[in-house]
Amino acid sequence: MTVALCALSHSPLFGIANPGAETLAQVNAGLDRLRSFVRAFDPELTIVFGPDHFNGVFYDMMPAFCIGRAATSVGDWGTTAGPLPVDRQAAGCLTEAVLRSGVDVAQSERLHVDHGITQPIEFLFGKSSTQPLVPIFINAVGLPLGPMQRVRLLGEAVGREIARWQRRVLLVASGGLSHDPPVPRLAEAPPEVAARLIDGRNPSSEARAIRQQRVIEASRAHAAGSGNFREVNPVFDQKTLDLLASGDLEQFDAWTNAWIEAEGGHSGHEIRSWVAAFSALRAAGPYRVTDRGYWPVREWMTGFAMASAQLKAHS
């Protein structure tokens, strides 16, 4: 067994909104380093922990966590649409292991995933990769959410299982750190938006384009200093990255959802993907963070971070 980890933020505004030449060059250099790290590790399987944004998973059946035994990309924001190369057998073993551990993970035979899962795959492996995957949906926008401890326990169960395998497994975490983009919330949604949050699968291309245009306009307003969106919070983001690097992941158990939202914005809950992936790595052995980058990017409406980590035993 050997396990490694890459964690990175996603933003659909990447490639659409310009964060300035210097930031873009630094982020691209960071992504190049992550790709080199992945090439050197040469994974036989990649497990991606990521959220959805009411493009693939809806309130008609909103699980806290769901492992895909088969998955399809909805193709939002220019990502490649269609079936993903899921390792069905590995996904099934992981579901059983997580359930045995006492965490009630759901399993899907057709998990619909959006840029929350597909953007990091495309960043790391290219647009039509055949890299065997297991996608693990971590609910971060469909309130209410359970306590952070459950996220850590989910990750630990995954990590204990893969530590038994004779395979090189790459763990990928996908999520912004602090951010508050215009992802709708059921409690405040007018009826037509609420209907879409409950069962909005397969929108027309026009409906998807209208929704995406709203996000682009919001990002323009935010970058120009208008609009009513929360600022990125670099203090929260560095605290998150420091704690992940320390390995003292139990500390996240005390982070309440109300506090995360107050400090990290409504989409700050996407740090759940990072906590799950780092918990999985730690369950496979003590680790060290080998690379780390962070940029608060208003144009992408997120604190954009990336990190790689490996087991100390394999350093």
Ligand X SMILES: O=C(O)/C=C/c1cccc(O)c1O
Which pair of structure tokens corresponds to residue 70?
């088969």
Mark residues 197-236: x for contact with ligand X by CB under 6 A, - for none.
------------------x---------------------
Contact between 11 and ligand X per CB under 6 A: yes
Phi, psi of 202 (to 5 degrees): 55, 55
- Assess contact for 6 and 38: CB atoms under 8 A: yes
Q: Is 115 a catalytic residue?
A: yes
The sheet with strand 71-73 has its strands ordered as 82-83, 71-73, 111-113
Contact between 296 and ligand X per CB under 6 A: no
With residue 308 as reference, give the H or E element that holds it.
Answer: strand 302-311
Nearest approach, Cβ of residue 140 and ligand X (Å) = 9
**Which 270-289 positions form the footprint of ligand X (CB under 6 A)?**
270
Contact between 179 and ligand X per CB under 6 A: yes
Contact between 119 and ligand X per CB under 6 A: no
Residues 6+ apart with CB under 8 A from 68: 84, 86, 91, 107, 108, 110, 111, 113, 134, 135, 136, 137
Which pair of structure tokens corresponds to residue 199?
């069962």
**Which 36-75 positions form the footprint of ligand X (CB under 6 A)?**
53
Distance CA 63, CA 104 (A): 9
Nearest approach, Cβ of residue 78 and ligand X (Å) = 12
Contact between 19 and ligand X per CB under 6 A: no
Distance CA 177, CA 270 (A): 7
Label the pairing between strands 65-68 and 106-108.
parallel
Nearest approach, Cβ of residue 13 and ligand X (Å) = 6
Identified catalytic residue from 115, 222, 266, 269:
115
Contact between 174 and ligand X per CB under 6 A: no
- For ligand X, the binding residue among 30, 159, 176, 303 (CB under 6 A) is 176
Contact between 193 and ligand X per CB under 6 A: no
Contact between 240 and ligand X per CB under 6 A: no
The piece of 8-16, 57-65, 79-87, 242-250 that touches ligand X (CB under 6 A) is 8-16
The residue (of 150 and 222) whose beta carbon lies closer to ligand X is: 222
The residue (of 213 and 251) whose beta carbon lies closer to ligand X is: 213
Identified catalytic residue from 112, 179, 222, 266:
179
Indicate the burial class of 255 (C-beta count within 10 angstroms; 0-12, 13-18, 19 or more). buried
Contact between 183 and ligand X per CB under 6 A: yes
Distance CA 173, CA 116 (A): 10
The piece of 4-12, 80-88, 165-173, 192-200 that touches ligand X (CB under 6 A) is 4-12
Nearest approach, Cβ of residue 102 and ligand X (Å) = 30
Distance CA 310, CA 51 (A): 23
Question: How does DSSP assign 110-158, residue by residue?
Answer: SEEE-HHHHHHHHHHH-TT----EEEEEE-SSSS----HHHHHHHHHHH
Interface residue list for ligand X (CB under 6 A) = 10-13, 53, 176, 179, 181, 183, 215, 267, 270, 301-302
Active-site residues, by number, are: 115, 179
